[in-house]
Amino acid sequence: MQLSDTLALVGGLSVLWNLLRLLWRCWRGFRQYILSQFWQVDLRGYGQWAVVTGATSGIGKAYAMELARRGLDIVLVSRSEDKLQTAEIYGRKTCTIRVDFTDGHIIYPKIANVLKDLEVGILGMSVSDTLKVLYYTKLILDIPCGHCLSVFRGHGLIINISSETGVRPHPLVSLYSATKLFVTYFSQCLHAEYKSKGIIVQCVTPLLVSTSMTRHTPVNCFTKSAQGFANEALNTVGYSAYTSGCLSHALQVNLIISRYLRT
Q: Which of 3-7, 70-74, 258-262 shows the lowest per-residue confidence on average (mean pLDDT)? A: 258-262
126 pLDDT more than 90: no
In this prediction, residue 204 carries a pLDDT of 95
Give the pLDDT mean for 252-262. Answer: 65
pLDDT digits (tens, 9 = 90+) for 24-38: 999 999 999 999 999
Region 236-260 average pLDDT: 85
Residue of 53 and 246 predicted with greater confidence: 246
Model confidence at 148: pLDDT above 60: no
Q: What are phi and psi of 124, to 5 degrees?
A: -110, 115
Beta bridge partners of 120: 49
Domain segments of the chain: what residues? Answer: 34-262
pLDDT digits (tens, 9 = 90+) for 190-234: 999 989 988 899 999 999 999 888 888 899 989 999 999 999 999
Is residue 132 scored above 50 in pLDDT?
no
Predicted confidence (pLDDT) per residue in 152-180, tens digit = 677 889 999 999 888 888 888 888 888 88
Q: Known catalytic residue: 63?
A: no
| Pairing relationship of beta strands 120-125 and 73-78 according to DSSP bridges | unpaired
Indicate the average pLDDT of the chain.
82
Interval 83-124: pLDDT, tens: 666 555 567 888 888 887 777 778 778 888 888 778 888 888
pTM score: 0.83
pLDDT of residue 149: 54
Whether the pLDDT of residue 127 is over 60: the answer is no
β-bridge mates for residue 220, sequence order: none
As a whole number of angstroms, the distance between CA 57 and CA 59 comes to: 7
Instruction: Check pLDDT > 50 for residue 144.
Output: no
125: nearest Cα among 79, 158, 164: 158
* The pLDDT value given to residue 232: 95
Residue 74, φ and ψ in degrees, nearest 5:
-120, 135
pLDDT tens profile 37-53: 999 999 999 988 998 88
Q: What is the pLDDT, as a whole number, of residue 122?
A: 82
> In this structure, are residues 98 and 73 in contact, taking their beta carbons and an 8 Å threshold?
no
- In this prediction, residues 141-145 reach a mean pLDDT of 47
- Given this structure, which CATH class describes domain 34-262? alpha beta
DSSP string, the chain: --HHHHHHHHHHHHHHHHHHHHHHHHHHHHHHHTGGGTS---GGGG-SEEEEETTTSHHHHHHHHHHHHTT-EEEEEES-HHHHHHH--SSS-EEEEE--GGGGGGGHHHHHHHHTTS-EEEEEE---SSSGGGGGHHHHHHHIIIIIS-TTTT-EEEEEE--GGGTS--TTSHHHHHHHHHHHHHHHHHHHHHGGGTEEEEEE----EESGGGT-PPP-SSSEEHHHHHHHHHHTTTT-SEE-SSHHHHHIIIIIIHHHHH-
Give residue 239's pLDDT band: very low, low, confident or very high (50, 70, 90).
Answer: very high
Is residue 138 scored above 80 in pLDDT? no
Q: Which of 108, 176, 239, 242 is catalytic?
A: 176
